[in-house]
Amino acid sequence: MINPVKIAVDAMGGENSPSKVIKGIEIHCLNSSNIFYNIFGNQNLIEPIIKKSKISKDICEIIHTEKFIKDSDSPLSAAKKGKDTSMWLAIESLKDDNSDAIVSAGNTGALFVIAKLNLNMIENIDKPALSALWPNKTGMNIVLDLGANIDCNEKNLLDFSLMGAALHKSLFDKEESKVALLNIGSEELKGNNIIKNTFQILNENKNPLFEFKGYIEGNHIMDGNINVIVTDGFTGNIALKTAEGTANFITDELKKAFNSSFIGKISAFLNLKNLKNFKNKLDPRLYNGAILLGLDKPVIKSHGSTDEVGFANSLKVCEKIIKGKLIEKIKKNII
């Protein structure tokens, strides 16, 4: 029998935990096979929820601790809380090879700091990058960096290109990875010196893991012609927040339009299927699960305010990148 994928789960991080975390595990385990969950948190709170669920006791273990990191904790104070918190113990299980990856909906800054304290960087990678899934017209984009690094040099952007392509291949193994640099224009002369230098290096040095497609502008991110979009953390974070805000604005305005009058309600009823498809396309829960790339073990960040559906999707991302051998792909292709 093939050894199960072992996922370390910080059960105490994020809103409505541990309830949403355990319910997320339940959703995931009913739709996956050969997974084992190392669940870190307060056993007195976790065990009653598991007993009411369809989670078999054979596929999970609770590692008890009453200490956890709050969303209000600074990364430094979170690290100082020590090795008895659910987040630290979960990451430590990864370090000790008792788990294959970790998922947490807890404090983002704390997760990154504790992960970097416990895990090693992949050789020849200088900085980690925060990457996430982003929908487009034909499927899904990988976008990075989304905030881990404000300033990046050419080497960082080259590393991000490779890591993003490796992540894309791990998640979507039948698709060809197409990489582009996010820029203010599509012409070669546009952009600052760092991005222009990166363009030249990627253009002249082909990588078997991906096809380099040049520049992409913000208004073409959703077109689907590119599936790995590379930028620095400052630009990437702004782009992400802008896209999230725009999606929420459109969804809210549609709700108002369809609920404001009798005609609107009739229109909504007649277009129920199309509206449901539209809502699913913009539902952030379906793309939940950001990945901290560059460390020698997979670290996945679930959104703190997501529900059990979103958390289950972050577990699915975790499962895919382990089975897709993400770390091995990066190590094999890094320069």
Domain ranges of the chain: 1-124+294-335, 126-287
- Taking the C-alpha atoms of residue 297 and residue 111, their distance in angstroms, rounded to an integer, is 13
Q: In what order do the strands lie in the sheet with 211-216?
A: 60-64, 35-41, 5-10, 101-104, 299-301, 290-293, 129-135, 140-144, 228-230, 178-182, 211-216
Quickly list DSSP for 99-149: -SEEEE-S-HHHHHHHHHHHSPBPTT--S-EEEEEEE-SSSEEEEE-SSS-
Task: Give residue 66's pLDDT.
Answer: 94
Task: Give residue 279's pLDDT.
Answer: 63
- Taking the C-alpha atoms of residue 327 and residue 332, their distance in angstroms, rounded to an integer, is 9
> What is the distance, to the nearest Å, from the Cα of residue 333 to the centroid of all Cα atoms in its chain?
21
Give residues with Cβ within 8 angstroms of 96, minimum separation 6.
Answer: none
Quote the CATH superfamily of domain 1-124+294-335: Isopropylmalate Dehydrogenase (3.40.718.10)
Task: Give residue 314's pLDDT.
Answer: 94
Quote the CATH superfamily of domain 126-287: Isopropylmalate Dehydrogenase (3.40.718.10)
Task: Give residue 173's pLDDT.
Answer: 85
Q: Max CA-CA distance within the chain? A: 62
Closest to 129 measured CA to CA, from 137, 138, 121: 121
**3-class secondary structure, 60:** strand
Beta bridge pairs of residue 134:
141
CA distances, 246 to each of 243, 250, 252 (Å): 5, 6, 10
Task: Give residue 280's pLDDT.
Answer: 66
Q: Do domains 1-124+294-335 and 126-287 have the same CATH topology?
A: yes
Here the tokens at position 111 are 């997760």
> What is the distance, to the nearest Å, from the Cα of residue 268 to the centroid of all Cα atoms in its chain?
33
Specify whether the CB–CB gap between 10 and 41 falls below 8 A: yes
**3-class secondary structure, 153:** coil
Per-residue pLDDT of the chain (335 residues; tens, 9 = 90+): 578 999 999 999 999 999 999 999 999 999 999 999 999 999 999 999 999 999 999 999 999 999 999 888 888 888 877 789 999 999 999 999 999 999 999 998 899 999 999 999 999 998 999 998 888 888 889 999 988 888 899 999 999 999 999 999 998 888 999 999 999 988 777 888 999 999 999 999 888 889 999 999 988 988 889 999 999 999 988 888 888 787 778 777 777 776 777 666 776 566 666 656 666 666 777 778 889 999 999 999 998 889 999 999 999 999 999 999 999 988 888 76
The secondary structure of residue 177, as a DSSP letter, is P
Q: Which helix (H) or strand (E) holds 95?
A: helix 86-95
